[in-house]
């Protein structure tokens, strides 16, 4: 999939195991950050400008590996309906335990954080993002 560096479309492509070629929109720091992170993790190819050569190289690459995410929306709705906001850490841990990255990504991330704290930190960022865009 060729796309910009937004959050939602690349996330959906990763969950389907589709390879990505991303071009961040000019002047959009969030997109540049998203693309740099996916490139660093080996989950996407990057081009700074529309480039026929980059597209050709990307087309020759093997398919990507799938990232498996839990069903966050239902779990979040159920958690909000319960009304006990103090249980956010338990929700985070329960959902994060269901996320599965390709082995090469897990290996890269293990250099930065021990397994459990890495999972909590990354899921907290994703959950915070989803809460912010949904409210």
Can you give the pLDDT of all 135 residues of the chain as single tens digits? 999 988 889 989 999 999 999 999 998 899 999 999 899 888 999 998 888 999 999 999 888 788 888 888 999 999 999 999 899 989 988 898 888 888 888 878 776 655 555 555 555 555 555 555 554
Q: What is the pLDDT of residue 127?
A: 53
Q: What is the pLDDT of residue 115?
A: 54
Helix (H) or strand (E) holding 38, with range, is: helix 29-40
| CA distance from start to end of the chain | 29
Prediction pTM value: 0.68
Task: Using alpha carbons, list the distances in angstroms from residue 117 to 9, 73, 84, 106.
Answer: 27, 23, 23, 13
Which residues, 6+ apart, have CB-to-CB distance to 76 below 8 Å? 91, 127, 130, 131, 134
């Amino acid at each position: 999939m060729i796309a910009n560096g937004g959050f939602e479309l690349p996330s959906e492509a990763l969950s389907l195991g589709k390879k990505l070629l991303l071009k961040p929109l000019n002047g959009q720091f969030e997109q540049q950050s998203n693309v740099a992170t996916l490139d660093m993790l080996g989950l996407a190819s990057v081009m700074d400008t529309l480039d026929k050569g980059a597209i050709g190289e990307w087309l020759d690459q093997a398919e990507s590996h799938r990232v498996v995410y839990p069903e966050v929306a239902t779990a979040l709705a159920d958690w909000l309906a319960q009304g006990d906001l103090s249980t956010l850490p338990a929700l985070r841990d329960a959902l994060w335990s269901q996320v599965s990255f390709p082995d090469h990504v897990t290996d890269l991330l293990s250099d930065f954080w021990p397994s459990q704290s890495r999972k909590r930190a990354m899921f907290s960022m994703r959950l915070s993002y989803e809460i912010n865009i949904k409210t």
